[in-house]
Structure 1
Amino acid sequence: MGKGSFKINGLAGLSKKLKKNATLDDVKTIVKTNTAELTEGMQNEAQVLLTGHWEGKKFVKPTGTTKRSITMQISNNGFSGHTGPKTEYAPYLIRGTRYMVKRDFFFPPLRKQKQKFKSDLERLMQ
């Protein structure tokens, strides 16, 4: 690995590295903060992209169900964060169908938050 990079597999390696630099509570805070920011980013993106659709000649206004279904959960004693839409039709919105263009409110915020999460952990490791 190059200079300035790190690789840690599992909580044991992470715990060992953090004993010198920080505490596991700092990691839990980073996980919680980044999960909350990702949830908010997905909700904002859904608000912008999901503006309604046409059914024949009738325009159907959005109900906001998909945006409201994007919730976060923290598990694994604070070391794992999960977020995303819970509606069963969300994958069709994200990827599109042959009849509908995609309205990807999922991956752009995920890519953005992934970089921030990685930099937060790297800062903690130094």
Structure 2
Amino acid sequence: MGKGSFKINGLAGLSKKLKKNASMDDVKTIVKTNTAELTAEMQRESQIVLTGHWEGKKFVKPTGATKRSITMHMSNNGFAGHSGPKTEYAPYLIRGTRYMVKRDFFLPPLRKQKQKFRSDLERLMQ
């Protein structure tokens, strides 16, 4: 599992409970929907946070490469969703360097979506 991702442990218990209350297709739908929402929110946040930078006395406008690189990918037969930037310099933007302040467009949307994902799964188990 890559950096900046999260994993819910205890899938055996979750799977047992879900088999009683809902179909596995419902779980796949929740995973796909939440992954798509997370991807869109990261792209939106990157537009807000990444506003350009100064190189000497010249201001350089953002190109949008980081926003375009944020994509989603489904795996594990639809039970796992992955989303995040693919540019090689994205970790420097997210964490910052000693010369550059961090411009975190990754963790705030992830925290919000994680709560929504858990509540969607809990609603499905009731």
1:35 equivalent in structure 2: 35
Distance in 1 (alpha carbons) for counterparts of 2:56 and 2:102 = 19
1:99 equivalent in structure 2: 99
> Is the aligned partner of 1:113 residue 2:121?
no
- Counterparts in 2 of 1:1-126, with a 5 A limit? 9-10=10-11, 12-126=12-126
**What is the TM-score of this pair, normalised by structure 2?**
0.90
Number of aligned residue pairs? 119
Please tell me whether the aligned partners of residues 35 and 72 of structure 1 are also in contact (alpha carbons under 8 angstroms).
yes
- TM-fit CA distance, 1:8: 7.0
**What is the TM-score of this pair, normalised by structure 1?**
0.90
Root mean square deviation of aligned Cα: 1.4
Write the deviation string for residues 84-117 of structure 1: whole angstroms up to 9, x where unpaired. Answer: 0000000000011111111000000000000000
Letter in structure 1 aligned against 2:81:
G
Identity of aligned residues (%): 84
What's the secondary structure of 2:63's corresponding residue?
Answer: coil
- TM-fit CA distance, 1:76: 0.1
Distance in 1 (alpha carbons) for counterparts of 2:73 and 2:9 = 24
Unaligned runs of 5+ in 2: 1-7
What's the secondary structure of 1:59's corresponding residue?
Answer: strand
1:4 equivalent in structure 2: none
Unaligned runs of 5+ in 1: 1-6
Distance in 2 (alpha carbons) for counterparts of 1:15 and 1:115 = 19
- TM-fit CA distance, 1:15: 3.1
What's the secondary structure of 2:103's corresponding residue?
Answer: coil
